[in-house]
Amino acid sequence: MLGPNGAGKSTLFGLLTRLFTPRAGGIFVAGHDLARNPYAALQLIGVVFQQPTIDLDLTVRRNLLYFAALHGLAGRRAEMRVTAVLERLGMAERAGERAGALNGGHRRRMEIARALIHRPSVLLLDEPTVGLDAAARVAIVDHVHRLAAEDRLTVLWATHLVDEIRPPDRLVILHRGRVLDTGEAGEIGGGDLSGRFIALTGAHS
């Protein structure tokens, strides 16, 4: 999902995660009505918010175990899941480190790992590369594309940065709360997605 600042991306994430509820209309997550059956719907969502949500004083492992428990996972099963997701994101050797000691890229990776603990079928990421350096950005973009391809995870990635989008990605362009275009990124943009994006959003402001 591509949109400039103020497009409504974060508001959409608030709605999708039931931080607040829509005044009209409904939201269905893999068939579950978020209003009628929030437990089942939220159980299927893994989310990485734009702003980091980490206990910096606790270790990476403790952070993940706390989150696992909020999703009803405890004991050995939680331990195994935590180990598994950290390995998946290449973070296994950092499990014992204090979260505050990690750099920005690793914190983000830890948050993505955390969002996968309860094996969601939908992963939501709200501008996950904000504030990261170029190398860390590329690494995160790669990781998440691999998750979508290999684990058949549905990913909703919000961004205002065109270079995070690959031609085969399905794309929605959002501007001021309205969908301007939708389809495969390669088809929408042709050779120049950036130019197309600017032209589209410029024409509507």
Partner 1 sequence: MNVAPDRDAFAPHRPEVLNVVDADDLDGDVRRKAAHALSHRAAVALGAILKREALRFLGQRGRLLAALVRPLVWLIVFAAGFRAALGLSITPPYQTYITYEIYITPGLVGMILLFNGMQSSLSLVYDREMGSMRLLLTAPPPRWWLLACKLVAGSLISVLQAYVFLAVAAAWGIRFTLGGYLAAFPAIMLAALMVGALGLVLSSFIRQLENFAGVMNFVIFPVFFLSSALYPLWKMAEASPRLRDICAVNPFTHAVELIRFALHAKSEPLALAVTIVALAVFGAGAIWGYDPARELAGRKIQ
User: Rule CB under 8 A: which residues touch partner 1?
Assistant: 10-11, 14, 16-21, 23, 26-33, 37-40, 42-45, 47, 49, 51-55, 57-58, 62, 65-67, 69-74, 77, 119, 122, 154, 156
- Burial of residue 14, with CB atoms counted within 10 A of its CB: 0-12 exposed, 13-18 middle, 19 or more buried: middle
C-alpha–C-alpha distance, residues 118 and 45, integer Å = 9
Joined together, the tokens standing for residue 20 give 């607040």
Q: Please, what is the minimum distance in Å from the beta carbon of residue 17 to partner 1?
A: 4
Measured from the CB atom, the residue of 13 and 197 that comes closer to partner 1 is 13
Q: Please, what is the minimum distance in Å from the beta carbon of residue 145 to partner 1?
A: 17
Q: Please, what is the minimum distance in Å from the beta carbon of residue 127 to partner 1?
A: 13
DSSP 8-state symbol, 90: T
Residue type, 28: F
Q: Identify the three-state secondary structure at position 130.
A: coil
Measured from the CB atom, the residue of 10 and 129 that comes closer to partner 1 is 10
Measured from the CB atom, the residue of 29 and 95 that comes closer to partner 1 is 29
The answer to whether residues 181 and 200 touch, using CB atoms and an 8 Å cutoff, is yes
